[in-house]
Every structure is written in structure tokens, then in C-alpha cells.
Chains A and B, each alone.
Chain A
């Protein structure tokens, strides 16, 4: 079974993504963390918490503390001071150092068999590329959450956070032209709205997992309402995990992706869909970008995987139109 590494910056939606992955049949061999939504030490604690909630023992590795070039800007305004709505969880486990080596070693031992699911800034992957691009070329597949092709950004009208926080890493990542890269950005994740109705349903499910999901999303709901009058929160990252579970959830199109590293549009993903397939200039086809999503299918996977004992309740809530109206 394909070995999967989650590269994350948890963060509320990253934590949900870890939980989803850890409760699924996916073969998660390790989690690497970079500074993003929160700085790397806090992010590692949050990653371990999600694994403990899922009852899984998967190693966590700390990676980049800072973006490659830019000054670091966290997203605690969105995720809460600790990245998890201020819950300040204590954990039993400890994170290891050496995220970059873990990524490279895993690929070396399993050439063309490793999938990386990158849900945070691309700093760790850019550092791995810098250290050993030949090994990185032997990755089996990479799915990335980031960017925005034809929709407004969340850090500026044109930029999405993961690419915006470390645009140089993102640029280096796409310039490396690694095999089999699929990107899902705000074009599809804006549809993944975890509504208050869903939250209340989860609370009624009861139990430790449900309470955790309920607690960590509180701040997110408040933020989205305050900031953009969206009722509910957009949970970007689990979408990529669901895509690894069921590829029919999103439709992706070949494109060239480059990233702006200066001035007004810094961090913008510049996505060209009309690159001729025989073009070998500066802008080759280097990725597929997801532009369509089946959100009902996503939530089916999300709830049924995380709460397998409540599938009947979930289906009933759907049927009654209480969720996914």
C-alpha cells in the first residue's frame, strides 16, 4: 500500500485532515510539520493531539521554523492563539526533529511509491528539493492545498495563505516540476463549509472525537462570521485527504503553476490552463489544478470515516435536510 506523508501546519483544518487520515485506511507513515498557521513547535503538539484523539501512533517530525525569505506571519487570528481555538491541549507524545531527512529517506527507501499530502506552506518541500532534488523526483505523487486560480484569495484579493506565507518556497516547488502534482486551492475549498448545523450534529454524536471536533472549530466559526459574514467555517485541508481516499471527489485539469514573489500580487498562484502540451519553455505543464468538487461526496467521506459509528445518524440528518441543504 502506498506510503503517505502528511506535511502540515496545524491549524484547525489541518488537525481535521490529520484526524480524517488517521481514522481512514490510508497508510500514513509520518507527519512533518512546518511553521504556518502556528509556529512549528505548537504545530507539532497539535499534530500529536490529533493522532492521540484518533488513537494512532504515527511519528511526527518538526521541519522549517521560518519561511525561506519572507518575514513569518502566522494565522493565529484565524485559528486561535494555539492554532486550535485556544484549547491549549497537553499531549503525551513528543515530536522528532528532522522532517526534511524523514521525507527524503522515506522516498529513497520507497522510490515512486510515496505520496506527500502537503497542507501547509511548502517550506519543507522546498528545503527537501534544495537538499536532494534527485530523490524528490522519485516521489510517487504530491497533492497540495494552496493557491487560487479563478477566485478571490484569503490574504489579498489574489493570494491564498499557504503560498502567500512562503511564496519563494511555493515558487521553488513548482519550478522543480516534480512528477504527478495535484493542487486544490480556494476554487474548490470555498465549497467545503462546515456549518453550525454540522457542528451541533457532531456535538450530539458525543464522545471524545466529537467533542474535539466541536471544540477546535469554535474559533473558526467566530472568525468566519466576524470577517466575511460566512456562517460556518471553511475546512480546506481535509478535502485533500478525502481526495486520496476517493479521487472522484474532485476534477483536476493540467496547467502550469507559477507563484508571484514580489509586490502587489505576492503569493499569487498564476495558473495557466492553455499551455500547449508540447510546450517546453519557461512554463511547462507542471501540475493539475482542481476546479470542480463534489461536496456531498466529500462530507460523506469525512463524517463516515471520522464517525463510523454514526453513519445512520448522518444519513438521517442529510435526508431531513438538516445538513447539506
Chain B
């Protein structure tokens, strides 16, 4: 079987870690490389964290360091949410030799050139690298098979009332990315669906009890996340935005077909709404479709797929039978 060829573009980050690990465990996905970008933490942190994940999973791929700052030059450190090191304070080793000398932008372009129409990019952070690649060589980037991007939101924000962190961090890059959305399918997993898919205390405890060593590590990782959600939003649990993006890339049926909008999407790059995605769900502007935006999610199915991918069929049966979210 030919495996799906995946490049991650990411700023790990706890929820990035969940997503990357899920893809590494998914049998039909081949993670070719992990590109890093500044976002949740600075570029040195996110690169080290990517190396830690490769080491933890003993996965055969390289890490490519990318953009250290956004095109619009904002900076916000999400340290409080992700823990000081960005991975919830979990101690993990890494192997420096897995870091390539090649810049992430060049890696993306070279890989797409070598595999035209076959590369899927899963973007879990600010999309600066993708935008830089498009600026450098738009024709090559139009040969990307599909982009799965976590960011934006139609009716909600998190860093401002209307903007989501990744897209707010580099709104200019978002604008550039969606400029190829008429050639490359771009699926946007935004806050409308991620916030509808909460991992509860029950879910996470099940993972710790039945997920072996990996389950324990992942449980430990979300500690600061849970604290922060309790403090700010009074959830007992957490939203793992990036994981939903990867699970959706694995199996699109987690987002029911009738809730998926093929729309024109633009992004605000100015004013108090900077970073906001403006998605014309009702096609009132009659502009070209450049985005695929799910607005509904089957949250239970999402978690079942995650547990199956990570821990196998037997465990997910146990989950289905005994655990209510």
C-alpha cells in the first residue's frame, strides 16, 4: 500500500504533540518531515520539542527549522498555557542529529517538487513557512495535494474575541496561504469545531489507565492545559485543537458532511480584527471558493478514532463500553 506522504508544519506545543503522535501511529500515514515555526513558543523551543517527539516515538524522520518570526512581526508567547518548555514540563530526551541543516521552506519546496500532487501538509501552527514557500515558488506550492490547517474560526476567537492564535500570530501568511486555495484544497479546522470537541477528565483518565507509557506521558503533558482551561473557562478538561486537525485528516467523517462549507475565506490583516477569518458561509459575496471549513464535529467519534490509532482496537472497545465523556 502506498502511504500518504505527510509534512508537518508545527510549533509544538502540547496539542501539536498529540496530533503529531497520532499521525506517526496512523498506519497509512508516512510522516516525511517535521518543519518548525515560532508560535506557541520561540523557534528554538518548538524545534527542540519536535526533536523530542521524534525521539519519543522513535520515528524515522528529520526536523527542519523554519521561520523564527511572523511576517507581520507580532509576538506572543503562549507559555502560560503550554508550560514553560511548551510540552507541559514533561522531561523528554532528544537526538540533535535528527535536526537537518536545511531550512523548512526549502525542505517543503524540494519535497513537493520531488512528489508533485502527492504531498499533504498538516499545519498546526502559524503558517509562516507555507507563505514563505508560496512567495518563493508559487507554482511548486500549487502542486501540494492538500493542506490541513488548524487556525481561524468563523464565529469565535481565542486571542481576541474574533481571532484565533495561529492566524492572529501571522495574518499576512494566512492571506498568502489561502491565495492558493483555488488550486490546492485547504481544509481549515477552526475554533468552531475544536471547541466542540473537549477531552474531559473521564477521557484523559481512561488514557492514563489504559494507554501504557505513552498514555501516561500524554496525560502528564496536558496538566497545565487543564489547569488553564479550568482557570479561564471552567472546563474540567481541555480542547486539543491540533489533534482534531490530524484526526480529521485521517478520517474526514469526524466532521459530518452537511456541516462542511466550501467557501470564500479572507483574513483581516488590519485593525482590531487582525487575524480574523471572514468566511462567507452563505456565499453572499460570490467570490471564488478557496477554503473547506467544517462547522460540525462528532466529538465522540473523534475521540474513538484517536484512542484506536494510539492504543488499538481492543482499548477503544473498552472505551466505548465503559467510558462516558
Contact = CB atoms under 8 A, between A and B. Distances in A.
Interface of A: 150-152, 156-158, 228, 256, 258, 260-265, 268, 270-274
Given A156-B278, A158-B276, A228-B282, A270 B270 contact: no
B218 interface: no
B273 A271 contact: no
Most chain A CB inside 10 Å of its own CB: which residue of B155, B233, B267: B155
Nearest to A262: B271
Most chain B CB inside 10 Å of its own CB: which residue of A157, A260, A265: A157
A272 B278 contact: no
A158 B64 CA distance: 38
Contacts of B272: 258, 260, 270
A268 B162 contact: yes
Given A152-B281, A152-B282, A158-B276, A264 B161 contact: no
30 contacts: A150-B155, A152-B155, A156-B284, A156-B285, A157-B278, A157-B280, A157-B281, A157-B282, A157-B284, A157-B285, A158-B278, A228-B282, A256-B161, A258-B272, A260-B272, A260-B273, A261-B271, A262-B271, A263-B271, A264-B266, A264-B267, A264-B268, A264-B269, A264-B270, A265-B268, A265-B278, A268-B273, A270-B272, A270-B273, A271-B161
A273 B161 contact: yes
B145 interface: no
A311 B17 CA distance: 62
Contacts of B233: 274
A152 B276 CA distance: 13
B162 A263 contact: no
A261 B272 CA distance: 9
A152 to B, nearest CB: 6
A265 B163 CA distance: 12
B270 A262 contact: yes
A20 B80 CA distance: 52
Contacts of A261: 271
B279 interface: yes
A258 B276 CA distance: 14
Given A260-B271, A265-B271, A151 B160 contact: no
Dominant secondary structure of chain B at its interface with chain A: loop
Given A264-B266, A265-B268, 8 more contacts: A157-B280, A260-B268, A264-B269, A265-B273, A265-B278, A268-B276, A270-B272, A272-B160
Interface in B135-162: 154-156, 160-162
Contacts of B280: 157
Nearest to B284: A157
Interface in B251-298: 266-273, 276, 278-282, 284-285
Contacts of A270: 160-162, 272-273
A155 to B, nearest CB: 9
Given A157-B278, A157-B280, A274 B232 contact: yes
Contacts of A158: 162, 273, 276, 278
Nearest to A263: B270
Contacts of B156: 150
Contacts of A152: 154-155, 281-282
A279 to B, nearest CB: 13
B291 to A, nearest CB: 12
A150 B156 CA distance: 7
Nearest to A268: B273
B118 to A, nearest CB: 34
A80 B282 CA distance: 23
A148 to B, nearest CB: 9
A263 B273 CA distance: 10
A151 B155 contact: yes
Contacts of A274: 232-233
A151 B285 CA distance: 16
Contacts of A262: 270-271
Contacts of B232: 274
Most chain A CB inside 10 Å of its own CB: which residue of B278, B281, B282: B278
B259 to A, nearest CB: 15
B190 to A, nearest CB: 13
Contacts of B161: 256, 270-273
A161 to B, nearest CB: 13
Contacts of A272: 160-161
* Those 4 A-B pairs whose CB atoms lie nearest each other, nearest first: A272-B161, A265-B273, A150-B155, A263-B270
Contacts of A157: 278-282, 284-285
Nearest to A274: B232
Contacts of B285: 156-157
